[in-house]
Amino acid sequence: MENDKGRTRAPDDVLVVVAQMAVAFSERYLEAPAEDLLAGVDGQVRGLLAVELGEPLWYDYARWRYARPTQVLDLAELNRAHDGLCFVGDYTAGWHLHLALQAGLDVAPFVLSPTTSLSPPSDRKGLRR
């Protein structure tokens, strides 16, 4: 809900919902007409929220055919010579939110103390499964 991010994100009398759909849904609707995509998203959002929703006032969408990485990149290798810039995300961890979060946690000590080296993935503990 964009409204939860502050008063400047949406008018007080409007509920603004941003929906990022999962891979299976996105693949199913990749080539679908915009009206079918909207209907599919609308049905999913209404099924999840416990609020009475009117008809959408507007919608926007982006189709990211190549948004999901096709290979996992090595976190330590990417950040070996970083010069203050570090890379983290699902492309370093296997396309799951909790793994992307773990990649960020893995890099945090490196950002705070550049003399710290990143441990190889097999040595990491925490959220990895």
- Note whether 43 and 82 are same-domain residues: no
Q: For residue 67, tell me if it sits in a domain.
A: no
Domain count, the chain: 2
Instruction: Please tell me the distance from the alpha carbon of residue 73 to that of residue 99, in angstroms, as a whole number.
Output: 13
Residue 41 lies in a domain: yes
- Residue 28 CB neighbours (<10 A): 13
In Å, how far are 6, 10, 38, 91 from 63, measured between CA atoms?
27, 24, 12, 18
* CA–CA separation, 37 and 56 (whole Å): 13
Kindly report the number of other CB atoms within 10 A of residue 106's CB atom. 25
The verdict on 42 and 79 lying in the same domain is no
On whether residue 70 sits in a domain, the answer given is no
Task: Answer whether residue 59 is part of any domain.
Answer: no
Is there a domain that residue 104 lies in?
yes
Confidence of residue 4 (pLDDT cuts 50, 70, 90): low
* pLDDT tens figures, 10-53: 777 777 888 888 878 888 998 999 999 999 999 999 998 877 88
Tens-digit pLDDT profile for residues 53-93 = 888 888 888 887 766 667 788 877 887 776 667 888 777 87
Range of the domain at 102: 75-123
CA atoms within 13 A on the CB side of 128: 14
Residue 55 counted as domain residue: no
CB atoms within 10 A of CB 89: 16
Whether the CA torsion 91, 92, 98, 102 is positive or negative: it is negative
| Residue 87: inside a domain | yes
- pTM (2 decimals)? 0.54
**Domain assignment present for 101:** yes
